[in-house]
A and B are shown apart, each in its own frame.
Chain A
Amino acid sequence: MLKRVHFPSSALPFLLVAPQIIITLVFFIWPAAQAIYQSFLIEDAFGLSTEFVWFENFQILFQDKQYLATFWRTLFFSAAVAILSMSIALILAAFADRVVRGATAYRTLMIWPYAVAPVLAGALWVFMFNPTLGIFPFLLDMVGLDWNHYLKGSHAMMLVIFAAAWKQIAYNFLFYLAAMQSIPRSVIEAAAIDGAGPVRRFKDLIFPLISPTTFFLLVINAVYAFFDTFGIIHAVTQGGPANSTTILVYKVFNDGFVGLDLGGSAAQSVILMFLVITMTVVQFRYVERKVEY
C-alpha cells in the first residue's frame, strides 16, 4: 500500500503565490484582455460612441497596404538586426575564446552596451550620425557619401538597424562565448592535431556545435527586434522619414496615441501578442535541445 501524504489545507500557500498572481493579473492579463476587447470596437471620429464590430478592425488592417508594408519592413528590420548583431557577436566571441590575458576586462567592457537604456543608446547614435554635427557623416563625406537620415529612408533604416543591433551584441556575445567555452578543449585540440587550422576548426566544429545557441539567439533577437526596439526608434527617427522606419510596435503606438485609432491599434497589438506567443512556444519547444559531448 502506498501511503498518501495529506497536507492540511490552509491559506498560506495561496498567500505566498498571491503577489505574483496579482501582478500577472493586473499588469499582463487584464491589459491583454482589454486589448482584445478594444480590438472589437470602433469609435466614431469624435469619440462619442463606440460600436462592437467583431473582426472588422482586423479586416481593415489586412486590407491596408500600409499595414502590410509595415509588416514586411518589420521582418526585414528584425532579420537585419538579428543577423548583424549575431554575426558581430559571433566573431568577437570567437576571438575572446582564444584570448587568455586580460580576458575578464575584455568581457566586462563587452557587456556594457547591454546596460545602456534603449533611449540613451538611440540618442548616442543620433548624435554620432547627426548630418550636420555627427562624426560619421563627416567621415562619410570625405569618401563622397552624403549621409542624411532625416531625408533618406534607407539611411534612417540603416541607422536604427545599427543602433538596435549594437545594443544586442553584448547579450549575444555572452551566450556565444559561454557556448564556445563549454566545448571541451580536447575536441578542438584533436581537430588541431588532425590538421584543421583556426578557420577550419571554426567552420567544421565550433559553429555546428554551438548551433543550439544560434537558434536560441535567433528567437531572442527576433523578439527583441520586434518588440523591444520601440525606444530606439522613438529616439532616433520617430518612425520617419515617411514611415520608412515604422515597424509594427511603433505603428501600434503611432496609430493609437497619435492617430487615436484605438480599435485599429488594439487589433495590431493583439496580432503582435499572438506573434510573441508563437515565438515563445517555438523557443521553449526547440531551444532545449542540447549537444552531448
Chain B
Amino acid sequence: MASITLKDLVKAYGDTEVLHHIDGQIEDGEFVVIVGPSGCGKSTLLRMVAGLETVTGGEIHIGDRVVNELEPADRDIAMVFQNYALYPHMSVRENMAYGLKIRKISKDEINRRVEEAADILEIRPYLERKPRQLSGGQRQRVAMGRAIVRDPQVFLFDEPLSNLDAKLRVQMRLEIRKLQQKLGVTSIYVTHDQVEAMTLGDRLMVLNGGYVEQFGTPIELYDRPETMFVAGFIGSPAMNFLPAEVANGVTTLSNGAQLGVAQGQGNVVLGVRPEHLEPQEDGAIEVQVQLMEQLGANTLLHGALKGTDTEMVVSLPGHVTAAPGTEMKFGAAPENMHFFAPDTQKRIE
C-alpha cells in the first residue's frame, strides 16, 4: 500500500501545456476519483502516474519513491483500461497470469492467486475462454482480475465502465467500490460521469482545462463548491446561476427582486441548486414555468426567472402539476445560496 503525491505536476505536448501545476496528496488506501469534462486531461494525468506518459515538470511520488523516471513495470501499479486491453490470443487464465509469470512466481502460486481472484470476481467458469468469447461485463471483470492478482500498491482506472450498459454500470460500480474497500488498495479512478464520481470516491479531484478546480470529499464539493465550474458540474440537474448585484447586504436579481442574503459587493452570480428551491408564499425568486418533467420521485420544472430570459430548473419532491405559463415563487435557505465573482468564477465568502 502506498500514498501518492503530485507536486507541481506539468504536462506539455510540444508547446501546448495540457496540465498546469497540479498538486495533490492521495492517502494510503484512499479512493480518489478524477472527474472533469472530455479533454480536460484526466487520462493524461492518470497515464503519467502509470508511467505511460513522460513528466514535463514536477514530481510524482508513490510511497516514498519519486517515480518520474521509473518504467511502468517498476512502479508496482495495475491499470484497468477503458477498452479492457485484454490480450486477445490468451485465455482468461493466461491474461490474468501474465504479469505473475513475468515476475517468475511459481506455477502453483500463480494458479492459486488467479483462482482466488476469479472467485472474487465470479469469473471462475470462464477461465479457459478467450476474451472474444466473453460479454463486455465479463471482459471488464477479467481486466479487474488481471489488476488484482498482481496485488499492486496502486490501482489506476481509466473510465473502466463507460463501455457497459447503464444497469451493468451501476452494478459494477458497487462491485468496484466493495472490492477496493476489501483490498484497501490506493486507487485513482478517472471518469467524466459525476454520479459515478460522487458514489465511488472518498475524494474527488475536479479537473477543468488542465487545472484542478477543487479537491475534496463529494459532500464538500456539493455543499461548498469553490468555483462556478464545480458548482455547475457536481449535482444533477445542474445548479442555477442568476446574475445579481450586491449592495449594502442586499442582493438584487436582474428582474429587480431583492433577497436579504448577500456576499461580496457589486456584480455577483447567485447559485442555487434546483433541489434547494422551496415554494414560498413570499419567495423572492419568481419562476415562469415553461415545461414540466415528472420523474415520479420528484418533478422538474423548467422555466425562466420571471421577466428575464435567465433559464432555471426547479426540482420539487413528489408529484407537482404546473401548467406552462404558471408563475411560482421560491425561496432557499441562506446556506444553500452560493455567491460567485463573475470575473474570477470563484466563490465569495
Contacts and interface: CB of A to CB of B under 8 A. Distances in A.
Contacts of B87: 187, 190-191, 204-205
B81 A186 contact: yes
B99 A194 contact: yes
A184 B78 contact: no
Contact of A189 (B52, B88, B98, B146): B52
A196 interface: yes
A193 B53 CA distance: 12
Residue of B50, B77, B79, B103 with highest tally of chain A CB at under 10 A: B79
Contact of B88 (A192, A204, A293): A293
B73 A194 contact: yes
Nearest to A188: B85
A194 B98 contact: yes
B73 A193 contact: yes
Contacts of A194: 73, 98-99, 102, 146, 150
B132 interface: yes
B72 interface: yes
B85 A192 contact: no
Interface string B140-161: 0000001000100000000000
A202 to B, nearest CB: 13
A45 interface: no
Contact of A195 (B50, B86, B102): B102
Contacts, number: 64
A238 B318 CA distance: 94
Given A193-B73, A195-B103, A197-B73, A187 B98 contact: no
Given A186-B81, A204-B98, A193 B72 contact: yes
Interface in B78-129: 78-79, 81-83, 85-89, 98-99, 102-103
Determine the main DSSP class of B at the interface with A: loop
A194 B76 CA distance: 9
Interface residue tally on A, bucketed by range:
20 to 34
A117 to B, nearest CB: 40
Interface string A150-192: 0000000000000000000000000000000000101101111
Determine the main DSSP class of A at the interface with B: helix
A192 B81 contact: no
A189 B72 contact: yes
A189 B99 CA distance: 12
Contacts of B51: 192-193
Nearest to A190: B85
Interface in A271-290: none
Interface in A187-220: 187, 189-197, 200, 204-205, 208-209
B152 to A, nearest CB: 9
Contacts of A291: 88-89
B309 interface: no
A190 B98 CA distance: 10
A189 B72 CA distance: 9
A51 interface: no
The 5 closest A-B pairs by CB, nearest first: A194-B99, A186-B85, A195-B73, A190-B85, A195-B102
27 contacts: A184-B83, A186-B81, A186-B82, A186-B83, A187-B88, A189-B52, A189-B72, A189-B81, A189-B85, A190-B85, A191-B87, A191-B98, A192-B51, A192-B72, A192-B73, A193-B50, A193-B78, A193-B79, A194-B102, A195-B73, A197-B73, A204-B98, A208-B89, A209-B89, A291-B88, A291-B89, A292-B88
Given A191-B98, A195-B99, A204-B87, 5 more contacts: A187-B87, A189-B72, A190-B87, A192-B73, A194-B146
